[in-house]
Structure 1
Amino acid sequence: MGVWAAGVLLALLPVAPGPDAGFVRAEGTRLTLEGRPYVMAGLNVYNAASDGNCWYPMALGRSLRQMRGNVIRVWFFQRLATKDGRRDWRALDRVLATARRHGVKVLPVLTDQWGKCEWSGYKGLSWYRGGYREVDPGGTVSYRDWVAEAVRRYRHDPTIAMWTLVNEAEAKPDGFSGCEPGAAEALRDFADDVGAVAKAASPAHLLTLGTMGGGQCGTAAHDYQSVYASPALDVCEYHDYHEPNQAMPGNEFDGLAVRLAQCRALGKPLFVGEAGIDPKATGGLRGRARAYAVKMSAQFAAGVVGFVVWGWCETGRKDGDAFVVRPGDPVLKVLERRVRRS
């Protein structure tokens, strides 16, 4: 083959993407994708990787065709990737492959404060002080090693928008006691340690600790900023519940406006990882959709970079959660409009 012909052939071959192509980035207090501002709006679908071991097994492809938005937030726990004492990645792989086909980013969460869909229960202060290094009951490795294993496996997958270390992290002695001194220090040390593990496993992916942000043990008032100052954390997180008529929820010490100011001082973006409104508080589903629209408008204008509604439930499934969103819910159009506007 001549030089000219070889050059033509090479020009026609697809160009392999760079190692960081398609990854969501943090640039100051905003997110970007392929150099453009990126805004997240979507739904929590925590059981997307379930095969019956975390609520019901979901037909995710069908659900994604019914949903709106550009992200889903999903549990990626060790239990969901362990079968008969061995690692089985099929459920997690399937979530990412399905989301990729539908052009949706995923926000995987690596463990749960409350122990839902896991072998263990509530994670107390002692867990953050070192218990996370011990092998999980029923698991094959410790939580710390699970983070390294899972993040490394998907280090080249830009379908993942960012990793969350813990859903609703807080450092109380147990699920019933009050706060103790040292909670903030324990959370910060935990974030520094496990965050560094995650960053070593995948430098390209963003990372958040995963907090409610409403004054919980370890992140109350100024402690929130101290914890999120960890160099391993790229993005701050807040959860918005129980205030359907308040566009910017919370008080002067732990409200969303305070959290935005703290993260702005750190030069980091903030997103709302969970938001829930009971339709009974707004006169029904249409009223709830209007309340969500007001919240999103105010919060995005204030600097929030993402808003993820709790939580998806397929038609015909019974659930006692007042916050669930089902196919045909008016809030889906609100999410769709928000994505189109971004």
Structure 2
Amino acid sequence: MKPPTSVWRRVAAVLVSAATVLTVSGVAARTVDAAPQPGARVTATVDGLKLDGQDWWPTGFNAYQLATDWGVNWGCGAMVDLDDYFGSLPAKSLTRFNLFQALAINKFTGELDFGPMDAVFAAAEDHNQMILPVLSPQDGACENETFKERSWYVDGWKDFDANAAKSLISFQDWMHIAVARWKDSPSLAAWELVGEPEPSLCTDTACNWWTRTCPSDTAQILRSFYDAAGAEVRALDPKTLITAGLLGGGQCGTGGDDYQYVSESPYVDVVQYHDYGADGVALPGDQWNGLARRITQATAAGKPLLVAEIGELAGSCEPLATRATHIGDKIAGQKTAGTAGALLWAFVPDPRPTECTMDIGYDDPLYGVVAAEAEWG
């Protein structure tokens, strides 16, 4: 289903600029080069990442709530003082954050309002920091609260969902708008289309993970999504890297050998692994879906692997200093094994020290770990 005519008028100016490269239906108007073209600050090879032509092993945080502005949008977590946040980071850090369509909608007017997102890019640029925007979440959190099933990856990403309360346009059109608007930011490190993609099938209303099913062609469906959506991003922005936000632990569509098959999409430049539940262990997981296997598969696919989420509980359940030691040991081991960077889950401006959480505040000793493990130049 396509959005109402009134919504099309609101986004027409942006989509017209995108249509010079792509039709609105996503059909390429010219041949699209699969490999990113020269011109971006961040580049990738199988050996890792480079920033401004120099080797870069980035560290930093997931700070999902950066675009939250309660005076404009529905938000996703607490508001952050952007200058304080980016000013607190070591030089040349990388921050992964939510650039969801829902956060671009003014909750009072119902119109698109890019102000909070523009502010994130502006603050990152002012502090010469790098950012990794995620365009949509798998589980729908802070978006439409709907799990993305197999049908979404087949063609649902091209369609407007009139039942989605925090949506004005399709994901395809949001992707076009976001890429066209921010592609020239000097702080843009890469585009991430979906965080932790998993095109399985729900069998109950809650879509519980233990009841979902995984059809045999799911890897092909996910690979086709990256081939098609990635080609559209590359046509709009020929120079910026695209990263697949794979969780990497054997999820539907990327279990076992399927991880490498999806990673080999010509429109995936950087792959990911998300690391939870193995405190202090550098290379968690088993021989089929563990991090060691993922590093081997990424190398075979010719792509660097970014550990884009590392999380450990602390606070009431563990001293912050103990967590910092565990994660420091983990990152050092992963770097030696051949990963391309590490981002911690998750920075918040309002940590809860009396609770057992993964919160990371300004005074957390993990700031020292991030600074110690970063490499540039």
- Specify if TM > 0.5: yes
- Measured after TM superposition, the shift of residue 66 of structure 1 is 3.3
Aligned counterpart in structure 1 of residue 152 of structure 2, from 112, 127, 130: 127
Distance 1:281 1:130, change over 3 A: farther
Distance (whole Å) between structure 2 residues aligned to residue 115 and residue 129 of structure 1: 17
| Aligned position for 1:162 | 190
2: CA distance between counterparts of 1:29 and 1:126? 35
Query: Structure 2 vs 1, CA of residues 340 and 205 (structure 1 numbering), >3 Å: closer, same or farther?
Result: closer
Distance in 2 of aligned mates of 1:222 and 1:339: 31
Cα deviation, residue 280, structure 1: 6.6
Out of 94, 116, 127, the position equivalent to 1:71 is: 94
Give the equivalent residue in structure 2 for 1:273.
Answer: 308
Report the CA distance between 1:320 and its aligned residue: 6.6
Q: Which secondary structure state, in structure 2, belongs to the residue aligned with residue 166 of structure 1?
A: strand
**Secondary structure at the residue paired with 1:231?**
coil
Q: Give the alignment of 1:27-176 within 5 angstroms.
A: 27-52=45-70, 53-68=75-90, 70-83=93-106, 84-136=109-161, 137=164, 138-174=166-202, 175-176=207-208
Q: Take 1:319 and 1:127, find their aligned partners in 2: how far apart are those partners?
A: 40
Flag structure 2 segments of 5+ consecutive residues without an equivalent: 1-36
Q: Which deviates more from structure 2 when the two are superposed, residues 138-147 or residues 262-271?
A: 138-147
Whole-Å separation in 2 of the counterparts to 1:132 and 1:321: 36
Equivalent positions of 1:1-342 (< 5 A) are: 23-52=41-70, 53-68=75-90, 70-83=93-106, 84-136=109-161, 137=164, 138-174=166-202, 175-176=207-208, 177-279=212-314, 283-315=318-350, 322-339=357-374
Question: What residue identity is the alignment partner of 1:265?
Answer: A
Amino acid at match of 2:369: V
Structure 2 counterpart SS, 1:198: helix
Q: TM-score, normalised by structure 1?
A: 0.89
Partner Cα distance (2:288, 2:316) in 1: 25
Measured against aligned partners, the alpha-carbon deviations of 1:169-223 in whole angstroms (never above 9, x if no partner) come to: 1111123213222211111111111111111111111001211000000000000
Aligned partner of 1:11 in structure 2 is none
Distance change in 2, residues 1:316/1:260 (3 Å): closer
- Deviation (angstroms), 1:65: 2.9
Asked whether the 8 Å contact 2:160–2:169 carries over to 1, the reply is yes
Q: CA deviation at 1:118?
A: 0.6
Measured after TM superposition, the shift of residue 236 of structure 1 is: 0.5
What amino acid is aligned across from residue 149 of structure 1 in structure 2?
Answer: I
Q: Could you say what secondary structure the match of 1:86 adopts?
A: coil
Q: Kindly provide the CA deviation profile for residues 82-139 of structure 1, in whole angstroms up to 9, marking residues without a partner as x.
A: 2233221111110011011122100100000011111241111111111111114242
The question of whether the paired residues in 2 share the 8 Å contact of 1:244 and 1:282 is answered with no
Question: Structure 1 residues 78 and 319 mapped into 2: Cα distance closer, same or farther (>3 Å)?
Answer: farther
Identity of aligned residues (%): 35
Q: Structure 1: which amino acid aligns with 2:99?
A: F
Partners of 2:145 and 2:131 in 1: how far apart? 25
TM-score when normalising by structure 2: 0.81
CA deviation string 1:223-249 (max 9, x = no partner): 000011110110011000010031111
Deviation at 1:68, TM superposition (A): 4.1
Asked if structure 2 preserves the Cα contact closer than 8 Å seen for 1:23 and 1:204, the reply is no
* C-alpha RMSD of the superposition: 2.1
Q: 1:113 to 1:321 in 2, by over 3 A?
A: farther
Give the partner amino acid of 1:58: V
Q: Which amino acid aligns with 1:105?
A: M
User: Secondary structure at 1:271's aligned position in 2?
Assistant: strand
Query: How much has 1:22 moved relative to structure 2?
Result: 5.5
Deviation at 1:264, TM superposition (A): 0.4
Give the gaps of 5 or more residues in structure 1: 1-18
- Native 8 Å contact 1:169 1:211 kept in 2: yes
Distance 2:351 2:291 in 1: 35
Kept in 2, the 8 Å contact 1:41–1:335? The answer is: yes
Equivalents in 2 of 1:277, 1:95: separation in Å? 26
- Using a 3 Å threshold, how does the CA distance of structure 1 residues 281 and 126 change in structure 2: closer, same or farther? farther
1:12-69 C-alpha deviation (Å, 9 max, x unpaired): xxxxxxx965620012331112221111100010010011321222212112333446
Aligned residues: 324
